[in-house]
Structure 1
């Protein structure tokens, strides 16, 4: 593991404000981290899906022409709001081209949903997994056309995106590594979600690091243990790390669920996982 000095420089905002955060994610905790864009190019991405263009957010180093190692950042339930954009900037500070596609874009604007129940009912439940996989493939192509080194490519995702990270690792075998933060692992099959990560554990060819909280009320320890057993039976190189005192969303620094020590450890483990499996940061 690396030491704590390698964690991105951050500013804890007194009161934090709410600009750029989804309505349903508010109020914003004072622990919210802001990473500046100094020495970066960052902003809007327009991604060709073969139909409607998909918006997204990207960040990369300002100097040089690349190619840069790639991290596709898969949004949490609230979409590509300020927290996800900040994570892209943190990765870009390490030398990555990071891009977060807005995977709900056909179904509504998650930033304007007034509460979590409305967000889940009206937007999240309407998004088919196959559509997400296709849109992540489109993001992969966009990245390759915009300076990313697809031979040094990884994915990470949070909450809703943590589950999608497991699924995409089974779908795109060209990835070098994946890190899934507290993504759901099992559940009933539906038309939009025909398979869960537990169902595809034996199909994984891309090493996945799963980061979970021992006190996550939405992902019980029994579910995590089932996934560990399935990964061991499959004999792949994937691993799961459990932080015993963390709940769901322990990396979400703008929410009360945030646990700084566990989040920082998870971030460093993520970077080391990428480096170990062939997607190191620039200069690492």
Structure 2
């Protein structure tokens, strides 16, 4: 993550020509055929500055679970202290399941209470520390594998699980795709500056409203794309709430050199409030 419009190394790159850095990166207008190419685009890579060093030491453990393609998947799991059918799926940025994402998972866990938090490893153990590394991993991860991991996570949570999701960047896109896969089990979806689904017919199958958090200075997910997403959701008969901040792509990541603490705090307050209502 049914055919998903996800990042995958499925198509040849011979015809690809990188765009100038100053030009907007049309990430959200990009077709499935072009998504693998974006990982090699220097301008796209430059939207993601190498994360600052960060080490996580807290709650949680790595687990494994089965997937439909026969290859085990893994995730960082923090189990609710009390038996609970409430789940929050956390989706990584394009760097991978690094310590920053684990810390974000624990933060949500502590603030939500009585919720199982599962941060899925969408890269099967690979983590990029530079834009170039992340780009290569993005290109080499087939969309079919991403879908298999998401479906495996849903199965691990169980048929009675009530699932909300949150993700950033690449994970923002996955959060929305996860909500589509979760069907009637989906209770909430938060996407931070992720590529929106453009297929109105797919959006019609959503069982939840969406909270979208974006930056007005984001060249990858520009305001025009966000406006189109709002229009598509309205056409699909679905509700979306957009929070737009005067910030760049990846502004909510504390390990991002361009991190915006003020916007991050307000965005988290909105995300947490939304998720508390959905997982109450």
* TM-score, normalised by the number of residues in structure 1: 0.72
Query: Contact 1:202/1:230 (CA < 8 Å) preserved in 2?
Result: no
3-state secondary structure, aligned to 1:239: strand
Residue in structure 2 matched with residue 104 of structure 1 by the alignment: 123
Residue in structure 2 matched with residue 44 of structure 1 by the alignment: 62
3-state secondary structure, aligned to 1:70: strand
Listed as ranges, the matches of 1:188-207 within 5 Å are: 197-199=197-199, 200-207=202-209
- Residue 129 of structure 1: which of 143, 163, 167 is its match? 143
Q: Superposition RMSD on alpha carbons, in Å?
A: 2.4
Gaps of 5+ in 1: 1-23, 186-196
Query: Contact 1:54/1:102 (CA < 8 Å) preserved in 2?
Result: yes
Distance 1:69 1:234, change over 3 A: same
Task: Tell me by how many angstroms 1:77 deviates.
Answer: 0.4
Task: Tell me by how many angstroms 1:87 deviates.
Answer: 0.9
Query: Contact 1:25/1:78 (CA < 8 Å) preserved in 2?
Result: no
Matched, 1:169 2:155: no
Residue in structure 1 matched with residue 247 of structure 2 by the alignment: 246
Listed as ranges, the matches of 1:3-82 within 5 Å are: 26=50, 28=52, 37=58, 40=59, 42-50=60-68, 51-61=70-80, 63-64=81-82, 66-67=83-84, 69-82=86-99
Question: Residues of 2 paired with 1:250 and 1:114: CA distance?
Answer: 17
Question: Residues of 1 paired with 2:51 and 2:180: CA distance?
Answer: 36
Task: Tell me by how many angstroms 1:54 deviates.
Answer: 1.3
- Residue 117 of structure 1: which of 132, 136, 145 is its match? 132
Deviations 1:145-173 (A, max 9, x none): 9xxx613x201111101111122222222
Question: Residues of 2 paired with 1:253 and 1:114: CA distance?
Answer: 15
* TM-score, normalised by the number of residues in structure 2: 0.73
Question: Residues of 2 paired with 1:80 and 1:56: CA distance?
Answer: 8
Query: Contact 1:251/1:258 (CA < 8 Å) preserved in 2?
Result: yes
Question: Residues of 2 paired with 1:144 and 1:124: CA distance?
Answer: 29
How many residues are paired up?
Answer: 227
Query: Contact 2:164/2:189 (CA < 8 Å) preserved in 1?
Result: yes
Distance 1:89 1:35, change over 3 A: farther
3-state secondary structure, aligned to 1:80: coil
Deviations 1:219-255 (A, max 9, x none): 1111111111111222212222211x11111110111
Gaps of 5+ in 2: 1-47
